[in-house]
Chain A
Amino acid sequence: MTVIDAAEPEALTTTQKPIKIAVRRSRADNVYRRVAWVAAFSTFVILVLIGVFLYLRARPAFDYMGYWGFLHTQVWNVSGSHPSFGVGSALVGTIVLAIISLIIAVPVSIACALFINEYAPSKLFGFFPLKGLLTSMVDLMAAIPSVIYGLWGFFVLQTSMKGLSRWLSDHLSFIPGFKVTTPTYTSSFFIAGTLVGIMIMPIITALCREVFSLTPLGEREGALAMGASRARVVKDVVFPFSKGGMVGAIMLGLGRALGEAIAVSIIISLTFGYPNHVLQPGGSSIPALIATKFGSGGALGAAGLLAAGLVLFFLTLIVNLIAANIVSRQEKKRQ
C-alpha cells in the first residue's frame, strides 16, 4: 500500500515510465498503523514470553534433575529426602494418547466432512436444513467445555466401552499393549484417547470441510460431466486438491490432543512407568500430570511442573507451527 506501482501496459506506451504514486499518510494514520502493528506483534511476544518465563521458573527443576535426567526419569517423587522426577513416562503417554485419539478421530472427521460437503442435501425432504444443522452441531461440539466432556466420558463413555475393551483384549491380545492383566478395563489410555478423539473431531471436521469446499468448481463439474460418480469425484478431484489442507487439519487436531488436560485427568488414573498397555487402568500424560499434581510438592514440585509445561509447550508449538505452515502454504498455492 505504500507505493502503488501503476505499470499498466497502456501507461507504459504513453509515458514510457511506470508512474510511482507515493502515499503520504497523516499522523493519525501513522498512529493507527503503529497501534495495530503493536497489537499484532503482542501475539508473538506472548508466545515468546510463555517460553521464556516457563524456562526461568523451571530452572530449579532442571538444575536439580539435569535436562536429560528430567526428560527420561519416569517417576514423580517431589517430596521426601531424595526427590526424583521427570516427564519420561508422561511424554511417551502423551504421544500414545494422541495417536489413539487420532486413530479414532481422523476417519470419522473426514467421513463427516465429506458427508456435510458432498452428500448431505441442504434441504432434506425439501424443508429440513440438514447441512446447516450439521455444521452448527459440529461447531457446538467444539464449544462444549472439556470438563463436561470429561464428566460424560467418565460416567457414560467409560461404562459403555468396557465391553469393547474386553473384546479387544480377549481376541486381539497378540497386538502389543492389548494384553490386560488386571480385572478392570477402565481408566485406560484407550478410553481417554477415545474421549480426546471425540473432542478433537469437530476441529478436524470443520477444517477438512473448509478445505473440501475449496475444491475448484470447474474440476469438480468437469469430472461429473465426464460421467464420474460422486465417489470418483471425491477420490480423484476432492482428495488430491485437499491433501495438504487435510494434513494441516489433522496436525492442528494433534496439537489439541497433545494438550488436553482436564478430560484426560478425569478419566485416566495417573501411574508412572513407560506405558506397555493401552486397555488396562493407568497411564499418564503431561497436561494431566500438571493438572493432577498441581499444588503438591512445594517449590521444587512447582518448578518441576513448570518444566513439564515447558516440554509440553515445545512439543505443541512444533506441531502447531508445522500445521500452521502447511495451512499458509496451501493459502499461497491457491492465490
Chain B
Amino acid sequence: MTTTSNTPSEAEATIGDPVVAPTPNDDRRRRIVKTRDFKPTDAALLIVTMLSAYSIVWIIFDQLTLLSGEFGFVVCTLGIFLALYWFVNLQIYGRHMAVDRLLGGLVTFGALCMMLPLVLLVYYVFAKGLPLLSFSRFTQTQAGVGPLSPISKGGFLHAIVGTLQQVVLAAIMGIPIAVLTAIFLNEIGGRIASSVRTVVTAMSGTPAILAGVFIYSIWVLTFHGYSGFAASLALAILLLPTVTRGTEEVLRIVHNDLREASAALGAPDWRTVWSVVLPTARSGLVTSILLGIAVSIGETAPLIMTVFGSQVMNLNPFKGPQAALPLVVYQEIKLPQKSAVALGYTCALVLFILVFAIFIIARILGSAWLQGVLRSRKGGAKGGSNAAIEEDLMSVALAPAMSMGLPRDDRSLNPDWGGEE
C-alpha cells in the first residue's frame, strides 16, 4: 500500500491535476477518461434517425404489407434505423465513427434481443399464474381432483414437499463431493487436476435427461422402484459439476497470502483449508451452493423417470412415487382441461418465485462477501474502494457458478494488479 492517506475530499481537490501520478487504491482511479463524447447533438441525431426509420417502415407497411405482425415491423424498423444511422454518421463524422456507431447499435440490439424473452417470460408467468394463486393452493394436494372438479380445488402441497425433500437429499449427497472436488482442484492440484477439471466441465454439459435415464437404469430398474430418493440421486449428479465450478472460482478468489500465513504458522494443509480457506470463502461458498440448488430445483427431465409424479402426498422419499413442482407443471399443461393448464401456470409461478428467491439470496450474499474480501485485501482502507474493479469482480466471480465457468488469468481476480509493488 503506497499512499492511501488521501481522504475522498482531498482526492477531489486534486482531480484534474495532471502532475500527480495516480496511485492505485486511490479515489482518482475511478475517474474515467472519456475517449469519445456523446454530445446532445448526437442524442438528437439518434432520436431523429429512430423516428425517421419508424415512419419509413410505417409507410411501407401500410402500403405494401410485406410482413404481418409486430415482429416483422420491429425487424424492418431496426434494419432501416441501422442503415440510416450509419449513413448519417458517415456524412458527419466519417467512416470510422460510422462503423463504430453501427456496431454500437448492433450490439445494443443484441442485448435487447436477449433481454426481451426474459421480460416477456416473467410477465407471462405472473400474468397467467397470479390470478389462481391463493393460500389454499399451499394447503391442498391434487388428491381426488379430476377433470370435473371446480377450478378452486387442488393445490400442490405434495409437490412442494416432494421438491424440498428431493433437493435437500440431493444437496446432502452432492455438495460435500462437489466442495471436496473443488478443494482438490484448487488447493491440492497436481497432474490429474486439469483432466478432472476438463471432465467436470464436460459433465456440466451432460443433458439433464441422461442423469434421469442413468438413475432409472441403475436404481429404479433394479427392484428399488420409483422414489424421491432416486430423483435426488439424479439431481445430485446434476448439482455436482455446477457447484464444483462455482466453488472453485470462489476458492480462487481467496488470497494466497492467507494460505501462506497459515502455512508459515505451521498449520498442516487440512488445517489451512478447514480453518482459513473455507471460513474466508464461507459466503461465497454458500452462494455457489445456492446457485447450484436454484438450477437443480427446476430440473424436470430427470424427474420423469425417477419420481414419476403423484397426485397424493407421499412423505416418505425412499418409497413410492412422489410429486415435484416442475413435474406438476409438465404434467398439468399437457392435460386437455383448462383448469389443469391453469393450475400448471400457478405451479410454474411458484416454481419461478422459488428459483428467483434463491437466486437473489445467493447474489446478495455473494456480492457482500466479495466486497468484504476485497476490502480486507486492501488493508482495511474503507473509502478507497475501486468501484469499477469490484463490480467487475463481482460479476466475474458469480457468473461461472451459473454456467460452467471459464478459467481466467489471475490478474483479473487480483485487485492489486494496478501495480502495488
Interface residues of A (CB under 8 A from B): 1, 25-26, 28-29, 31-33, 35-44, 46-47, 49-50, 53-54, 56-57, 107-112, 114-116, 118-120, 122, 129, 131-132, 134-152, 154-157, 160-164, 166-167, 198, 201-203, 205-207, 209-211, 213-214, 224, 229-232, 234, 245, 248-249, 252, 255-256, 258-262, 266, 287, 290-291, 294, 302, 305-306, 309, 312-313, 316-317, 319-321, 323-325, 327-328, 330-331, 334-335
> Are the C-beta atoms of A49 and B214 separated by less than 8 Å?
yes
* Residues in chain B near residue A294, CB distance under 8 A: 304-305
Q: Is B412 an interface residue (CB 8 A)?
A: yes
List residues of chain B with CB under 8 Å of any chain A CB: 35-36, 66-72, 96-97, 99-100, 102-104, 106-111, 113-115, 117-118, 120-121, 124-125, 128, 176-177, 180-181, 183-185, 187-190, 192-194, 196-203, 205-211, 213-214, 216-218, 221, 237, 240-241, 244, 268-270, 273, 291, 294-295, 297-301, 304-305, 326, 329-330, 333-334, 344-345, 348, 351-352, 355-356, 359, 363, 387-388, 391-392, 394-396, 398-400, 402-409, 412
What residues of chain B lie closer than 8 Å to A122, measured between beta carbons? 387-388, 391
A-B contact pairs, 8 of them (CB 8 A): A111-B110, A147-B298, A201-B117, A206-B402, A229-B99, A229-B100, A256-B207, A312-B207
Question: Can you name the residue of chain A whose Cβ is closest to the Cβ of B411?
Answer: A217
Which residue of chain B lies nearest to A256 when distances are taken between CB atoms in the complex? B205
Q: Give the CA-CA distance A129 to B391 in the complex, in Å.
A: 10
- The total number of A-B Cβ pairs within 8 Å is 360
Given A37-B188, A49-B218, A112-B114, A119 and B202 contact (CB-CB distance below 8 Å): no
Q: A134-B111, A259-B208 are in contact. Are A306 and B217 (CB under 8 A)?
A: yes
Contacts A160-B71, A231-B99, A294-B304 known; 14 new A-B pairs at CB < 8 A: A43-B181, A53-B217, A54-B213, A139-B399, A145-B299, A163-B68, A210-B405, A248-B406, A255-B205, A259-B207, A312-B210, A320-B205, A321-B198, A324-B202
Write the nearest CB–CB distance from A248 to chain B, whole angstroms: 7
B399 with A210: CB separation less than 8 A: yes
Residue in B244, B297, B399, B402 whose Cβ sees the most chain A Cβ within 10 Å:
B399
Docked pose: A9 CA to B266 CA in angstroms: 27
Given A139-B402, A145-B299, check contact A36 B184 (CB 8 Å): yes
**CB <8 Å contact, A323 and B205:** yes
A294–B107 CA distance with the chains assembled, in angstroms: 42
B172 vs chain A, min Cβ distance (A):
14
Given A43-B240, A320-B206, A324-B201, A33:B188 Cβ within 8 A: yes
- Chain A residues, Cβ within 8 Å of B207: 256, 258-261, 287, 312, 316
Inter-chain contact B110/A327, CB cutoff 8 Å: no
Question: Is B398 in contact with A108, judged by CB distance below 8 angstroms?
Answer: no
Name the distance in Å between A49's Cβ and chain B's nearest Cβ.
7
Question: Which residues of B are found within 8 Å of A334, using beta-carbon distances?
Answer: 407-409
Residue among A116, A148, A262 making CB contact with B111, cutoff 8 Å: A116
**Complex A-B, nearest 3 residue pairs according to Cβ-Cβ distance, in ascending order:** A111-B110, A259-B207, A145-B298
Residues of B within 8 A of A202 (CB): 114, 402-403
Max chain B Cβ within 10 angstroms of own Cβ: one of A118, A152, A229, A312: A229
